[in-house]
Amino acid sequence: MALKVFITRSGNANFSCPECGQTRQMDVSKYRNVDKEVKLKYTCTCKHVFSVILERRKHVRKDVNLNGEIILGNKRYPVNVKDISRLGLKIRTKGILDLHLQDKVAVEFILDDAGGSRVSKEVIIRKIDQADLGVEFVSHDHYDKLGTYLLFHFN
């Protein structure tokens, strides 16, 4: 299994060997603008070889499994939130909905925090892949339970 390594603003990545724990910083800026996934093999000084995937996202995503709904007019459609970040969500619908890129919709979901907090957000559809939607929050300011969740539930 490949390890995810984040590219810093300066174009570097820290490779940490899972075998010996040694860390080395490398310049990977040449991969920053590549459109597809970048997977590299790295050989540590201890001779352990492992694979890494360069993550170019600005914000970390967390895999989740949260129940929710998309609200279109006065109708509600069940969805499952598959991952979450500071900027948006990946949502899996129960069927194909009549949605288009740039549509604004409301989404409600229940967090897996101690209180089972309900979150309501307005989002913009940025990606449609059959039943999977990539959505961006209209507001990136989270002064609600989602803000607390993003601060304390990400490792």
The DSSP-derived string for 118-137 is: EEEEEEEEEEEETTEEEEEE
* CATH number of the domain bearing residue 114: 2.40.10.220
- Domain's final residue, options 37, 55, 73: 55
Cα gap 103→128, rounded to integer Å = 11
Q: In what order do the strands lie in the sheet with 49-55?
A: 3-6, 49-55, 38-43
Task: Quote the pLDDT of residue 31.
Answer: 85
User: Both 89 and 47 in a single domain?
Assistant: no
Domain of 45? 3-55
Closest Cα to residue 143, out of 119, 126, 116?
119
SS3 state of residue 67: strand
Backbone angles phi, psi at 146, to 5 degrees: -65, -40
Q: For residues 50 and 88, state if they share a domain.
A: no
Supply the pLDDT for residue 37: 82
Both 34 and 101 in a single domain? Answer: no
- 46 and 89 assigned to the same domain: no
pLDDT along the chain (155 residues), means of 10: 80 88 90 83 92 77 91 92 93 89 95 92 93 92 86 68
- Retrieve residue 114's tokens: 């101690």
Q: Where are the alpha helices (DSSP H) in the chain?
A: 145-152
Is residue 79 domain-shared with residue 96, that is, in the same domain? yes
The answer to whether residues 22 and 37 belong to one domain is yes
- Domain boundary residue, one of 11, 29, 55: 55
pTM to 2 decimals? 0.65
- Say if residue 14 is in the same domain as residue 88: no
Q: What is the pLDDT of residue 154?
A: 61
Count: domains in the chain = 2
Domain match, 97 and 36 both: no
- Whether residues 67 and 119 share a domain: the answer is yes
Q: What pLDDT score does 149 carry?
A: 86
Q: Are residues 84 and 132 in the same domain?
A: yes
Q: Are residues 34 and 108 in the same domain?
A: no
Burial tier of 88 (Cβ tally within 10 Å: 0-12, 13-18, 19+): buried
